[in-house]
Amino acid sequence: MKKIILASTSTLHGGDYLDYLLPTLENHFSNCKTLLFIPYAKPGGISHDDYTKKVSTTFSKINIAVKGIHEFENAVEAVKNAEAIFTGGGNTFLLVSELYNHHLMAILKTTIEAGTPYLGTSAGSNIGGKTMNTTNDMPIVLPESFNTLGLINFNLNPHYLDTDKQSTHMGETRETRINEFHTVSNIPVLGLREGSWLEISDSKLILKGNLKSRLFRKNEIAIEIETESDLSFLK
């Protein structure tokens, strides 16, 4: 059975890395002693080793040992043999480029859909959608393709920000950008606000967290989705 968590962010304002999710993760990875970490998104340019150490420190709190995928001689075999997998946030273009460069996109999808527990945050959640086209990140590299894992039948926009009507900012809002996406695509987009996540199994797709999410569909008015809602109708 699929066991997937796609979270908007790894860190809430004023909190420590993944702390707000730890009780959920302890349950999610309850049968796991080891975790394969994919650090390719490199937030702020952090090294793979330093990023993996950061993740390892957090997961030690729930007695799970972490090893970075870059530490394996064969990345494909590392994914196949993983007890659990976590893809961290950072730059989605870089992450997707590296997944294709290492021939990991297809095997990652197959492995997760076969039941290996998966966690994604930010960029690691973006790749759970059909494409990465609704990321907020700068295109610092050109991936082989914008197609991603397709673990869900829609796209995500992590870190979704509502339009501030009092702001003097004249640039595009998130809603404007998603509407632009819908001039060329029919794929629905879920705007995940900070502290929100999706829990996905074979039968259910539940919105978790304290905040609503915003669902955009082509030629329709965007709607608010209440927390604890089942979004299986989008699967």
List beta partners, residue 189. Answer: 155, 216
Q: What are the tokens at 145?
A: 């393709």
Check 8, 122, 125, 196 and give the catalytic one: 122
For the question of residue 122 being annotated catalytic, the response is: yes
Element (H, E) at 178: helix 174-181
Check 8, 97, 125, 137 and give the catalytic one: 137
- Starting at the edge strand found earlier in the chain, the sheet holding 223-225 runs 155-158, 189-192, 213-216, 223-225
Check 56, 159, 182, 229 and give the catalytic one: 159
For the question of residue 125 being annotated catalytic, the response is: no
3-class state of residue 55 by DSSP = helix
For the question of residue 202 being annotated catalytic, the response is: no
Q: Which residues does the annotation mark as catalytic?
A: 122, 137, 159
